Amino acid sequence: MNLSFFDQFSSPSFLGIPLILISMTFPALLLPSLDNRWITNRLSTLQLWFINLITKQLMMPLDKKGHKWALILTSLMIFLLLINLLGLLPYTFTPTTQLSMNLALAFPLWLATLLTGLRNQPSTSLGHLLPEGTPTPLIPALILIETTSLLIRPLALGVRLTANLTAGHLLIQLISTATTALFSTMPMVSLLTFLVLFLLTILEVAVAMIQAYVFVLLLSLYLQENI
């Protein structure tokens, strides 16, 4: 029984072929393709409004130099948002519960922001490792602490997204199992657990959206430090 709770986090396969790539690319098929017509349908209008809203929120902490990252950050936000929400549907797989995938997204983008800062303003970027006015005896220790905190940022990004989604999926499966098991013996208790399951599902929808936003927002803040 304990193993079955974690089976949902294993990558599905068909005839020995992993299907995680299909799970990652399927959300892109849900976005309607835009055309050159002046008058579009309501779905395309809603899509443009939503993309503009996301772009405005992500670019708000950045100055004009960081606006060239708008396409990358907005695409990443929509990608994570769709994957997290689709993973809440029954009989689906959530790729963002895999730490390897989240680190593969976090590390290159964090490294790109770091290299951008070292190229454009190396003295300012290196100055973040040593706060101003630090006593001389504490300089070596603070440099080590700040360097460690800098290098641990991509790991924190990946672990935060993985842990929140994994915990939510486990809670949903545990409560749904309890609801099914109690239905035949204690219907009233089963109804109460079903209500808890419904509220938890609404909470997980909010968590899926918030975690996607937090992931990209922290990347934009890291970018702002280096431009």
8 Å CB contact between 122 and 50: no
8 Å CB contact between 5 and 173: yes
The pair phi, psi for residue 89, each rounded to 5°, is: -75, 150
The pair phi, psi for residue 14, each rounded to 5°, is: -135, 115
8 Å CB contact between 143 and 126: no
Closest to 114 (Cα-Cα) out of 149, 140, 76 = 149
Tally the C-alpha atoms within 13 A of residue 156's C-alpha that lie toward its C-beta.
Answer: 12
Task: Compute mean pLDDT per 10 residues along the chain, 227 residues long, and list them.
Answer: 59 67 69 65 79 87 84 89 85 83 92 88 76 76 84 92 90 87 84 90 92 92 85
Tell me the three state secondary structure of residue 91: coil
What is the per-residue pLDDT across 90-125, written as a single tens digit (0 to 9) for each?
777 788 888 888 999 999 999 999 888 888 887 777
8 Å CB contact between 99 and 162: yes
Closest to 108 (Cα-Cα) out of 70, 146, 158 = 158
| Residue-wise burial string across 35-56, b where 16 or more C-beta atoms lie within 10 A, e elsewhere | eeeeeeeeebeebeeeeeebbe
Tally the C-alpha atoms within 13 A of residue 110's C-alpha that lie toward its C-beta.
Answer: 18
**pLDDT given for residue 169 in this prediction:** 87
**pLDDT given for residue 38 in this prediction:** 64
pTM equals: 0.81
C-alpha 73: how far from chain center:
12
8 Å CB contact between 79 and 23: no
Closest to 70 (Cα-Cα) out of 82, 81, 56 = 56
**pLDDT given for residue 1 in this prediction:** 45
The residue behind tokens 């290299």 is 115
**pLDDT given for residue 6 in this prediction:** 62
Q: Where are the domains of the chain?
A: 16-31+41-226
**pLDDT given for residue 122 in this prediction:** 77
- The residue type at 209: M
Q: Is the dihedral of CA 132, 136, 139, 141 positive or negative?
A: negative
**pLDDT given for residue 8 in this prediction:** 64
The residue behind tokens 């060239």 is 68
Tell me the three state secondary structure of residue 181: helix
**pLDDT given for residue 147 in this prediction:** 85
